[in-house]
Protein backbone atom coordinates (compact mmCIF):
# COMPACT_ATOMS: atom_id res chain seq x y z
CA UNK A 1 0.00 0.00 0.00
CA UNK A 2 1.41 3.35 -1.04
CA UNK A 3 2.19 5.78 1.76
CA UNK A 4 1.54 9.47 1.43
CA UNK A 5 3.27 10.67 4.60
CA UNK A 6 4.86 9.19 7.72
CA UNK A 7 6.66 9.93 10.97
CA UNK A 8 8.92 7.75 13.07
CA UNK A 9 10.06 8.48 16.58
CA UNK A 10 11.68 6.71 19.49
CA UNK A 11 11.62 7.49 23.19
CA UNK A 12 12.55 5.67 26.40
CA UNK A 13 9.82 3.71 28.22
CA UNK A 14 9.16 6.41 30.81
CA UNK A 15 5.58 7.22 31.76
CA UNK A 16 6.16 10.96 31.33
CA UNK A 17 6.36 10.25 27.57
CA UNK A 18 2.77 8.94 27.35
CA UNK A 19 1.36 12.45 27.04
CA UNK A 20 3.98 13.44 24.49
CA UNK A 21 3.33 10.37 22.32
CA UNK A 22 -0.45 10.90 22.09
CA UNK A 23 -0.03 14.63 21.46
CA UNK A 24 2.49 13.95 18.68
CA UNK A 25 0.21 11.33 17.10
CA UNK A 26 -2.74 13.72 17.19
CA UNK A 27 -0.66 16.54 15.68
CA UNK A 28 0.36 14.26 12.79
CA UNK A 29 -3.19 12.95 12.24
CA UNK A 30 -4.60 16.49 12.20
CA UNK A 31 -3.53 16.90 8.55
CA UNK A 32 -6.21 14.30 7.64
CA UNK A 33 -8.84 16.73 8.93
CA UNK A 34 -10.54 14.31 11.35
CA UNK A 35 -13.41 15.25 13.66
CA UNK A 36 -12.65 16.02 17.32
CA UNK A 37 -14.15 12.65 18.31
CA UNK A 38 -11.84 10.76 15.93
CA UNK A 39 -8.84 12.77 17.09
CA UNK A 40 -9.76 11.82 20.65
CA UNK A 41 -10.01 8.15 19.64
CA UNK A 42 -6.51 8.29 18.10
CA UNK A 43 -5.02 9.93 21.20
CA UNK A 44 -6.67 7.31 23.40
CA UNK A 45 -5.53 4.30 21.32
CA UNK A 46 -1.94 5.62 21.23
CA UNK A 47 -2.00 6.27 24.98
CA UNK A 48 -3.10 2.67 25.61
CA UNK A 49 -0.49 1.08 23.35
CA UNK A 50 2.38 3.24 24.62
CA UNK A 51 1.35 2.65 28.24
CA UNK A 52 1.38 -1.12 27.65
CA UNK A 53 4.96 -0.88 26.35
CA UNK A 54 6.02 1.28 29.31
CA UNK A 55 4.33 -0.88 31.96
CA UNK A 56 5.00 -4.37 30.61
CA UNK A 57 7.87 -4.49 28.11
CA UNK A 58 10.80 -3.46 30.29
CA UNK A 59 10.35 -4.41 33.95
CA UNK A 60 13.75 -3.16 35.11
CA UNK A 61 14.75 -0.51 32.60
CA UNK A 62 13.50 2.23 30.32
CA UNK A 63 14.19 0.56 26.97
CA UNK A 64 13.27 2.03 23.61
CA UNK A 65 9.68 2.44 22.40
CA UNK A 66 9.17 3.24 18.73
CA UNK A 67 6.12 4.93 17.31
CA UNK A 68 5.44 5.07 13.59
CA UNK A 69 2.45 6.67 11.90
CA UNK A 70 1.69 6.40 8.21
CA UNK A 71 -0.99 7.87 6.04
CA UNK A 72 -1.86 5.28 3.41
CA UNK A 73 -3.98 5.39 0.28
CA UNK A 74 -7.71 5.53 0.91
CA UNK A 75 -7.35 7.88 3.91
CA UNK A 76 -6.06 5.06 6.11
CA UNK A 77 -4.07 6.03 9.19
CA UNK A 78 -1.72 3.31 10.42
CA UNK A 79 -0.15 3.46 13.87
CA UNK A 80 2.59 1.05 14.97
CA UNK A 81 3.89 1.01 18.55
CA UNK A 82 6.86 -1.27 18.94
CA UNK A 83 9.15 -2.25 21.80
CA UNK A 84 12.11 -4.59 22.12
CA UNK A 85 11.16 -5.82 25.57
CA UNK A 86 10.26 -9.17 27.08
CA UNK A 87 7.18 -9.85 24.95
CA UNK A 88 3.67 -11.00 25.89
CA UNK A 89 3.58 -14.76 26.73
CA UNK A 90 -0.09 -15.19 25.77
CA UNK A 91 -1.42 -12.46 23.46
CA UNK A 92 -4.95 -13.92 23.33
CA UNK A 93 -5.19 -13.90 27.11
CA UNK A 94 -3.72 -10.39 27.34
CA UNK A 95 -6.41 -9.10 24.98
CA UNK A 96 -9.30 -10.38 27.10
CA UNK A 97 -11.27 -7.55 28.76
CA UNK A 98 -10.35 -6.91 32.42
CA UNK A 99 -7.27 -9.15 32.23
CA UNK A 100 -4.17 -7.43 33.60
CA UNK A 101 -0.87 -8.32 35.19
CA UNK A 102 -0.43 -4.67 36.19
CA UNK A 103 -1.18 -3.10 39.56
CA UNK A 104 -4.38 -1.63 40.96
CA UNK A 105 -4.05 1.44 38.75
CA UNK A 106 -4.50 -0.76 35.66
CA UNK A 107 -7.95 -1.79 34.42
CA UNK A 108 -7.14 -4.46 31.83
CA UNK A 109 -9.24 -2.52 29.30
CA UNK A 110 -6.40 -1.20 27.12
CA UNK A 111 -6.73 -3.62 24.19
CA UNK A 112 -10.54 -3.47 24.37
CA UNK A 113 -10.39 0.30 23.97
CA UNK A 114 -7.81 0.13 21.15
CA UNK A 115 -10.00 -2.38 19.30
CA UNK A 116 -13.11 -0.32 19.88
CA UNK A 117 -11.62 2.99 18.70
CA UNK A 118 -9.68 1.74 15.67
CA UNK A 119 -10.89 -0.25 12.61
CA UNK A 120 -8.25 -2.95 13.05
CA UNK A 121 -5.81 -4.06 15.74
CA UNK A 122 -3.04 -6.60 15.34
CA UNK A 123 -0.63 -7.62 18.11
CA UNK A 124 2.51 -9.58 17.37
CA UNK A 125 4.80 -10.58 20.19
CA UNK A 126 7.80 -12.78 20.70
CA UNK A 127 9.52 -13.65 24.02
CA UNK A 128 12.58 -11.45 24.64
CA UNK A 129 12.20 -9.86 21.20
CA UNK A 130 9.35 -7.51 21.90
CA UNK A 131 5.87 -6.57 20.87
CA UNK A 132 4.43 -4.70 17.90
CA UNK A 133 0.91 -3.28 18.01
CA UNK A 134 -0.46 -2.22 14.61
CA UNK A 135 -3.69 -0.27 14.39
CA UNK A 136 -5.47 1.14 11.37
CA UNK A 137 -8.36 3.49 10.94
CA UNK A 138 -9.97 5.08 7.93
CA UNK A 139 -10.25 8.76 8.67
CA UNK A 140 -13.39 10.42 7.42
CA UNK A 141 -12.85 14.13 7.15
CA UNK A 142 -15.07 16.65 8.88
CA UNK A 143 -16.59 17.42 5.49
CA UNK A 144 -17.57 13.74 5.00
CA UNK A 145 -19.22 13.35 8.44
Partner 1 sequence: MKVLSSYQDGKLTLHLKGELDHHEASAALRKIGRVLDDYLPQDCVIDMEGLTFMDSSGIALILKISRLMTETGGRAWVENARRQPLRVIDASGIDRMIKVVV
**From 28, 79, 83, 110, residue interacting with partner 1 (rule: CB under 8 A):** 110
Q: Does 83 bind partner 1 (CB under 8 A)?
A: no
Transcribe 75-141 into DSSP letters.
Answer: TEEEEEEEE-SS--S-HHHHTSTT--SS-TT--S-HHHHHHHHSSEEEEEEETTTEEEEEEEEE---
Smallest distance, partner 1 to C-beta of residue 73, A: 28
**From 112, 124, 134, 138, residue interacting with partner 1 (rule: CB under 8 A):** 112
Name the nearest CA neighbour of 54 among 3, 101, 103, 17: 17
Q: Does 140 bind partner 1 (CB under 8 A)?
A: no
Residues that bind partner 1 (CB under 8 A): 15-16, 18-19, 22, 36-37, 40-41, 43-44, 47-48, 51, 54-55, 97, 104-110, 112-113, 116-117
Amino acid sequence: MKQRNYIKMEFPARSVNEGFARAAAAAFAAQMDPTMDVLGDIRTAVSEAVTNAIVHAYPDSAGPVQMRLRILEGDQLEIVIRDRGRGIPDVKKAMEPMYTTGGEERSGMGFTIMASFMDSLRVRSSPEKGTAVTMRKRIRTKAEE
